[in-house]
Every structure is written in C-alpha cells, then in structure tokens.
Amino acid sequence: MLVKTRGVILKEIKFRDQSKICPVFTEHFGKISVILKGVRNPKNKLSGVFSTGNMVELVIYKKQNRDLHLVSDALLLQSPMSARPDMERFTTIYQLIETLKQVTGSEEPHPVLFRFLAATIEELCKPERDYQLVLAWFLIRLVTVLGFEPELEQCVISGEPLIPAAEAMAPDENLYFLFDPGGIAFAGPSALIRSEKRALPALSFRLLRWLSRQNIDALPDIRIPEEHPRRLCELLQDYCAVHIDHNPPVRNRRIISQIRPDNT
C-alpha cells in the first residue's frame, strides 16, 4: 500500500554500495524503518534529504508484517542541522534524537507527541534561541504523553500546595524531584522517601512549571540563566529512562558533556 506521512529521521545506516536504511519516527505509524535504494549516489534526487534530525514528507510502500518499507519519494521539510553552525543546537538535536530512539516503540503511533516534536524541530531551526529551553519544553510534554506526568502543583508526599511556598523561596533554595512517585516534594517530606530524587532549585522548579503551561512560541520572551534549562533537560531525560524499558544512555550523555560549548 502506497502511503504518505511526515517523519523525523532518527539514524542513517549504510546498506550495500549505494543504499541506506533509516529508522524514522512518523506522524501516522510511529517508529518504522525505511530503505532508500541508491540514495548515497550524489546524483540521486533524495541525496541529503534523509539526514539525521531532518523532518521529511515521505511516500512509502508500506506492507503488513514487514519490518522494512521502501521509500518511493520524499520532500525535505525542515533541516535543523543545515542551519548556521551552532554547537549548542547540535548537542540539543543529538539529545532529542537519542531520547526519541529510547522511548518510541516500533509502529506505535503517537500523533500528539509528533505534533509537539514538529513544533520543536521548527523552533530548533531558528537562530539565536535557547535550544536547551526548547528541549525542556518538549521533554515535559513527552513524559506527559507517555503517561508519567510529574506532579507540579502540590507536594507529592504531604499534599501541601507548592506554588505559594516556591514563590517565597530564594532562587537557589532546593525543592526535590522524586522519580517515584513522580513529582516535586518539599525538603522535609522528601527525606522520608528512599527512591531516586534530585535537588531542584526553586527557580528551576518555577521554570519547569511555566514550561508545562506555555505554548512554544512564548519561549523567546523568557530570559533565564542557562544552567536552569540544562538542569531540567538532564533531569527529565533521566526521569524518562527510569520509566521505560531501556537503560539510561550513559555513554551518550558523556559525549554530549564533552562537546558542549562551555567544555571546549
């Protein structure tokens, strides 16, 4: 059956002399693998279209009970890696793709998640953005769509409202993010829990809650020290990892930390 859908390229795998295989997270079919015959020939019209991180519209011959589907045609929609070189953008896209590869199962459609992903890719194509802030915006929606949205309104242990107390706290005064049950707790009650938890400065918490309630087009209006979006990205990636059947990609995290601009 010939079908059309949008998708984000998760990986490129060389196949034989001129072809390649790509896992793609698609709008209508979830994660599938496609084969592009002869695409590594520079004269092929699809050469360069199926690069990791690209958003494409693709036409495929999709067959039931097959793990590999042949691409008939494709159109490049967005290419965040082809924009002006930016190391922070590169590392953010790498984090995004690695997270998607972990949490998406084969042929499990997530149309709502794809809509958030499409908005994120579009924002990552723009210059002079806080790319880690964009990723944090996506990750809080990812965990919500996957069914383990953290509690951000009241302490997950005591039930006490978080907002009045958090707004009165100094920016570097800590709350705690508990992985199980997922959500925020005050320092006192969190001491009773033995499951994994992370200290979270009050300002980082307020940012997390703000991100959970805002459209992506509000992000350029906020100015906040870069360590807070970065902290949220690391926290939410780890939170994802403990709620799925995969182990955290420790090696990949080390690579990211080594290539960040502030480590060069």
Check residue 256 and give its pLDDT: 38
Domain that holds residue 158: 133-263
Please give the full DSSP string across 99-121, using - where no structure is assigned: HHHHHPPBT---HHHHHHHHHHH
117 within some domain = no
- Residue 2 burial class via C-beta count within 10 angstroms: exposed 0-12, middle 13-18, buried 19 and up: exposed
- Per the prediction, the chain carries an average pLDDT of 89
Number of domains in the chain: 2
Question: 72: domain CATH number?
Answer: 2.40.50.140
Question: Residues 133-162: what's their mean pLDDT?
Answer: 96
Q: pLDDT of 6-27, one tens digit each?
A: 999 999 999 988 999 999 999 9
Check residue 262 and give its pLDDT: 56
Beta partners for 216? none
Distance of CA 153 to the CA centre of its chain: 23
Question: Can you give the pTM of this predicted structure?
Answer: 0.89
140 band by pLDDT with thresholds 50, 70 and 90 = very high
Q: pLDDT of 98-122, one tens digit each?
A: 999 988 888 889 999 999 999 999 9
Question: Residues 239-252: what's their mean pLDDT?
Answer: 64
Furthest C-alpha separation in the chain: 64
Q: Are residues 140 and 237 in the same domain?
A: yes
Question: Residues 223-247: what's their mean pLDDT?
Answer: 88
- The DSSP symbol for 149 reads P
Check residue 20 and give its pLDDT: 95
Check residue 166 and give its pLDDT: 94
Question: 139: domain CATH number?
Answer: 1.20.1440
The stretches of the chain forming alpha helices (DSSP H) are: 87-103, 111-124, 131-145, 163-168, 187-190, 202-213, 227-242, 250-259
